[in-house]
Structure 1
Amino acid sequence: MIVTKTPLRLPLAGGLTDIKSYAHQFGGVTLSMAIDKHVYVIIKASMDGFFDLRYSDAHEKVVTHADIKNDLIREALKVTGLVDQPLQLVVMTDLAGESGLGTSGAVCVGLLNAMYRFQGIEKTQQELLEKAAHIEVEVLEGASGYHDPAICALGDIRYIEYDKHGIHPKSVALSEEVRSRFQESLLFFYGGHHAKSKPSLNLLESHLDKGLDHLHEIKAIGIELLPTLIAGDIQRVGEIIGEQQRLKMTLPGKFTDDYVQRTVANVRELGAFAQLPGGKVSAFVMVCCPNGQQDAVRDLMKDGHQEVPFAIEPNGTWAQTV
């Protein structure tokens, strides 16, 4: 039996410049981090000849891979060459999916990692993220951009560039003091607004010309964030996190509503900066408190939100035979 563990992620800046239509024309950039909330995939051979699959609240039991309804599982089986090997497979998550935390990217990476290990094949994290990105961006036509499978495969804090030639990640070397201050500045809340990313990203892709100027600005702050974070300027880091949210709300797509606007404005009045991660209206809110506003933000968010303790996850996807 193979078990894989793959982290979810929080974006900081540059998000949405990783969608194919933008990245291939102009080059995209993201700076983001993995968090200690994970997706788990368990697989073993099926003894009764069926693909027996359990994920979210669903259960599928089918004879052939072509009958599998779950897109990620079906396509991962094709990529790894396991279409004729009936499997028992379970996907579990620490936090609910369709939440803006890169769940589909983490699931896709975890599935590929598990399926290759089942065959005794070890793939590098770079190989896994490239194959997962191919499934999500090319095969499933924009279920996400290139960012989610990349950061979820790699873990830690990463600066990642995207262009028509591929995905190019770089480690972000922070001092322990800066890493600690940055982590302490962040709060994370669950608000419960779940939605699919693909409809929102499809709108952005189909109206890319209307959002180009602001996407260029998003790319610019993604680039700026790298030296700013390394220098430990947490005030400016918070401002960039807030600017990412402001710019995202101007783009064509389903990125804002009254709840988002109210939440962002109320947090800003306290001198903190909110971002709702993902390519849609997210189920979660990340808040950067550069000057000790944590208690005031907690008091603001206590009605309608649940705080979720979290830490930066230094490790990417891994697999174990049990």
Structure 2
Amino acid sequence: MIVRSRAPLRLGLAGGGTDVSPFSDQHGGHVMNVTIDRYAYATIDDSASGMAEFHAMDAQCSQVVEPARMSITGGPLQLAQGVYNRICEQFLEGRHPAIRIRTHSDAPPGSGLGSSSTMVVALVTAFAEYFNLPLGEYEVAHLAYSIERSDLGLAGGKQDQYAAAFGGFNFMEFYADDRVIVNPLRIKDWVWAELEASLVLYFTGVSRESAKIIDEQARNVREGKNQSLEAMFRLKDEAVQMKEALLRGDLNRFASVMQSGWEAKKKMANSISNERIDQLEALAFQHGARATKVSGAGGGGFMMFVCDPGDRLPLIRALSATGGSVYDTHFTPHGASSWKIA
């Protein structure tokens, strides 16, 4: 039997960072995001060798070992290793099957699209299908979060796992004790289409290590630094404003809130922006952009630009000349999915 799964990557539209502890535990976090038609993929089948096999196809990295609890090696294989360990211990009564796990993603690690967390969701979804585990969207997302943050010790928030599990436009609320509420939005068709036509997604060519940025952000909250805390409260409020703009179809307000949110986010930690990002932002505004932000923790990866659809091609040409890559992308209403091949 072969099982395949995929989970969509996401764009963080507003409120990103307020889903990270300790802010979300102390004050509650609000995030507005949307999934796109780029995915993390996982395949599980029986191992012909009788071993446990792990293959990160895009990183060209493999490990073949006796079926047992994995020692986490770090690097590209650690996500599959962590999911294998947790599923075996929590759902298979400690049994370690001889299976082959293969993964790949449409975005590189450090892209700012939630690629690592989305991969964990894809893996959990594949395991749930392979072993017939009764897991809904909330359970998949929470399990993926627990594996990534507790088992693997990777820093980050909660929005990526829930976005990948649910899909679509979602307004999310994050509270203490891992309480999460996902509110799917019913976006009018014309708003959906106009926003897609207005969006330019640009990869800077530089991946970044989000953990360092997130650690700085969390430290600023713990130490009560006023500028960082004020920025976080502003981001939380702007997630609510963006939700309202989307529901009303007010795309001028959408752009205004996105830009305001980006200005606030830059105050959360020094490493969120840098000289190259500032230069790209200035260039984009010279060629029709009305709003910009870096997706994810910041520091590099993907940048989003919102413009009038009539200005989209001049903006794409200007950005393409800077050494990065413009990605054609569309929103998707579907979350993680899996299927069997006999």
Do these two structures clear the TM 0.5 threshold for a shared fold by scoring above it? yes
Distance 1:310 1:271 in 2: 17
Distance 1:305 1:5 in 2: 26
- Which runs of structure 1 show a deviation greater than 4 angstroms over 4 or more consecutive aligned residues? none
Q: Which moved more, 1:46-55 or 1:171-180?
A: 46-55
Question: Deviation string for 1:114-133 (max 9, x for gaps)?
Answer: 11211122411111011112
Alignment of 1:9-88 (within 5 A): 9-55=10-56, 56-63=59-66, 64-69=68-73, 70-81=77-88, 84-88=96-100
- Equivalent of 2:329, from 303, 307, 310? 310
- Equivalent of 1:107, from 119, 123, 128? 119
* Native 8 Å contact 2:289 2:315 kept in 1: no
| RMSD over equivalenced CA pairs, Å | 1.7
* Native 8 Å contact 2:205 2:325 kept in 1: no
Alignment partner, residue 191 of structure 1: 204
**How many Å apart are 1:207 and its aligned residue?**
1.9
Distance 1:79 1:200 in 2: 27
**How many Å apart are 1:86 and its aligned residue?**
2.4
Alignment partner, residue 233 of structure 2: 216
Distance 2:111 2:289 in 1: 26
Alignment partner, residue 294 of structure 1: 312
Distance 1:280 1:61 in 2: 35
- Equivalent of 2:181, from 168, 172, 188? 168
Quote the sequence identity (%).
Answer: 20
Question: Deviation string for 1:261-303 (max 9, x for gaps)?
Answer: 1112222343421111011323222111146321331132021
- Equivalent of 2:213, from 192, 200, 204? 200
Distance 1:38 1:291 in 2: 25
**How many Å apart are 1:95 and its aligned residue?**
2.2
TM-score (norm 2): 0.89
Question: Deviation string for 1:229-278 (max 9, x for gaps)?
Answer: 11111111112112222222122252111011111222234342111101
Q: Which moved more, 1:218-227 or 1:248-257?
A: 248-257
Could you say what secondary structure the match of 1:20 adopts? Answer: coil
**How many Å apart are 1:65 and its aligned residue?**
3.1
Distance 2:136 2:279 in 1: 43
Matched, 1:240 2:253: no
Alignment partner, residue 6 of structure 1: 7
Alignment partner, residue 230 of structure 1: 247
- Equivalent of 2:193, from 177, 180, 185? 180
Distance 2:72 2:14 in 1: 36
**How many Å apart are 1:215 and its aligned residue?**
0.5
Q: Which runs of 5+ in 2 are unaligned?
A: none
- Aligned residue pairs: how many? 322
Alignment partner, residue 274 of structure 1: 292
Distance 1:296 1:140 in 2: 44
Distance 1:294 1:252 in 2: 31
Alignment partner, residue 90 of structure 1: 102
Letter in 1 for 2:39: H
- Equivalent of 1:285, from 286, 303, 307? 303
Matched, 1:135 2:147: yes
* Native 8 Å contact 1:156 1:316 kept in 2: yes
* Native 8 Å contact 1:201 1:253 kept in 2: no
Could you say what secondary structure the match of 1:272 adopts? Answer: strand
Q: Which moved more, 1:101-110 or 1:200-209?
A: 200-209
Distance 2:167 2:116 in 1: 15
**How many Å apart are 1:44 and its aligned residue?**
1.3
